[in-house]
């Protein structure tokens, strides 16, 4: 069999450390790992998250979801830790709340074409399912918060790390199945595959499930505050252990399932996934690490071209209102999602966004398959970036 290059031409220009090994497809560990992703497992993980309703931060259902996520990661053999912080906004200040739409000031690009109304549903009576309405009834209260992550330690470069993340909180009186159960499940599935007993990586991977994204990425910001200065420091000295390896890049996943196209003139959106649906990979063009982030995005695009089964990837230059934002001036940081965050989501391309209709039953297998292709894209890219291999 003819040998194939390990990655496309972007390797030469990316500046990222990729394995230079050339292998036949039958020996390619990345292809094998991508094959271990499974649509039904991905769907089951999303379904498991929806048992906690919208998982709004500052509620018992949110705390129960954090515990459940940690138990799942532990069962996969991925050692867990938690970030602890306090979220205590001034009463009625509006601090930490999101704008429903985004423009150039937030980095989201200028909306064009048909636009539909967007916003956050705050009316419980718009949720027709009485059981789900009751589950989501407890309001948020200020106070301590926690977010969980787990770590795959690298074999030869344990002091260098890629962060792969999603946010587990939601709101809107639904199940937050897409926003962001789909991204959380993706990260959990990658943790499962990379934690396999026969899998090793040269560099470390951290799988983070942020909390408080919907109020302004407080967990991600707390992570940076608490751990940025600890990067690359051996602890204890001489142990070969690095509690906080050097951050090489950050890949965030936020809404994976729904690419049904632009709203019609009456504001409605097609119920079917559009044939040209794609995985959107975004960097922020005016960030301090824009060039490096763009290169990281190209790595994902090339990985998608080689390893994803159904949907292509598209790179865009506007990233906004997601947990990669706090990292974008520090390290290469990108966001993976169903549509462009500012131009598309902010213009009503996903009518389930922050609404009671964001429930598992809304989506079909073509929608879930888009999420699986995003998982294939990130797994393949991270596998290459970290030098993944299989033990003989």
Long-range contact set of residues 1-7: C-beta below 8 Å, sequence gap at least 24: 1/25, 1/26, 6/384, 7/299, 7/302, 7/303, 7/306, 7/384
Looking at residue 99, its pLDDT comes to 40
In the predicted model, what is the mean pLDDT of residues 93-109? 48
The reply to whether 2 falls in a domain is no
Instruction: Say how far apart CA 193 and CA 374 lie, in whole Å.
Output: 15
In the predicted model, what is the mean pLDDT of residues 385-392? 96
Q: Answer whether 282's CB lies under 8 Å from 346's CB.
A: no
The reply to whether 108 falls in a domain is no
Task: Read off the pTM.
Answer: 0.92
Residue 52: which CATH number?
3.40.630.10
> With 90 as the cut, is the pLDDT of residue 236 above it?
yes
> With 70 as the cut, is the pLDDT of residue 291 above it?
yes
- State the DSSP code for 111: -
Number of domains within the chain? 1
- Domain encompassing residue 278: 10-90+117-260+274-390
The reply to whether 110 falls in a domain is no
Long-range contact set of residues 274-278: C-beta below 8 Å, sequence gap at least 24: 277/311, 277/366, 277/370, 278/311, 278/312, 278/313, 278/314
Looking at residue 17, its pLDDT comes to 59
The reply to whether 106 falls in a domain is no
Tens digits of residue pLDDT in 345-384:
999 999 999 999 999 999 999 999 999 999 999 999 999 9
The percentage of residues in the chain with a pLDDT greater than 70, rounded to a whole number, is 90
What are the C-alpha distances in Å from 375 to residues 60, 219, 332?
29, 23, 19
Instruction: Say how far apart CA 254 and CA 180 lie, in whole Å.
Output: 6
The reply to whether 137 falls in a domain is yes
> With 50 as the cut, is the pLDDT of residue 300 above it?
yes
Please, what is the Cα angle at 353 between 346 and 40, to 5 degrees?
A: 125
The reply to whether 121 falls in a domain is yes
| Of 209 and 14, the one with more pLDDT | 209
Confidence of residue 116 (pLDDT cuts 50, 70, 90): confident
The reply to whether 191 falls in a domain is yes
The reply to whether 97 falls in a domain is no
């Amino acid at each position: 069999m003819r040998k194939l290059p390990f990655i496309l031409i972007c390797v030469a220009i990316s500046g990222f450390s990729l394995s230079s090994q050339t292998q036949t497809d039958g020996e390619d560990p990345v292809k094998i790992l991508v094959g271990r992703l499974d649509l039904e497992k991905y769907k089951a993980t999303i379904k498991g998250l929806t048992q906690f309703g919208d998982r709004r931060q500052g509620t018992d259902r949110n705390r129960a979801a954090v515990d459940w996520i940690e138990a799942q990661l532990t069962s996969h053999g991925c050692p867990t830790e938690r970030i602890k912080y306090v979220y205590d906004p001034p009463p009625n200040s509006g601090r930490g709340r999101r704008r429903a739409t985004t423009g150039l000031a937030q980095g989201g690009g200028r909306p064009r074409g048909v636009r539909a109304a967007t916003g956050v549903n705050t009316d419980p009576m718009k949720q027709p399912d009485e059981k789900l309405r009751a589950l989501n009834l407890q309001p948020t209260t200020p106070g301590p918060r926690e977010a969980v992550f787990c770590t795959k330690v690298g074999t030869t470069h344990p002091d260098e790390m890629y962060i792969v993340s999603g946010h587990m909180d939601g709101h809107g009186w639904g199940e937050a199945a897409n926003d962001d159960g789909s991204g959380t499940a993706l990260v959990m599935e990658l943790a499962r595959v990379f934690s396999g007993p026969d899998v090793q990586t040269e560099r470390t991977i951290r799988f983070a499930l942020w909390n408080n994204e919907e109020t302004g990425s407080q967990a991600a910001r707390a992570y940076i505050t608490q751990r940025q200065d600890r990067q690359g420091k051996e602890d204890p000295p001489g142990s070969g252990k690095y509690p906080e390896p050097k951050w090489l890049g950050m890949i965030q996943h936020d809404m994976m399932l729904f690419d049904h196209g632009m709203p019609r003139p009456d504001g409605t959106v097609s119920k079917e996934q559009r044939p040209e649906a794609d995985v959107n990979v975004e960097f922020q063009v005016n960030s301090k690490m824009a060039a490096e982030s763009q290169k990281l995005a190209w790595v994902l695009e090339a990985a998608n071209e080689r390893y994803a089964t159904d949907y292509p990837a598209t790179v865009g230059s506007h990233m906004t209102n997601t947990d990669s934002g706090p990292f974008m001036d520090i390290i290469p940081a990108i966001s993976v999602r169903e549509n462009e965050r500012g131009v598309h989501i902010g213009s009503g391309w996903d009518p389930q966004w922050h609404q009671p209709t964001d429930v598992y039953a809304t989506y079909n297998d073509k929608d879930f398959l888009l999420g699986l292709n995003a998982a294939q894209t990130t797994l393949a890219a991270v596998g290459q970036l970290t030098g993944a291999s299989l033990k003989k």
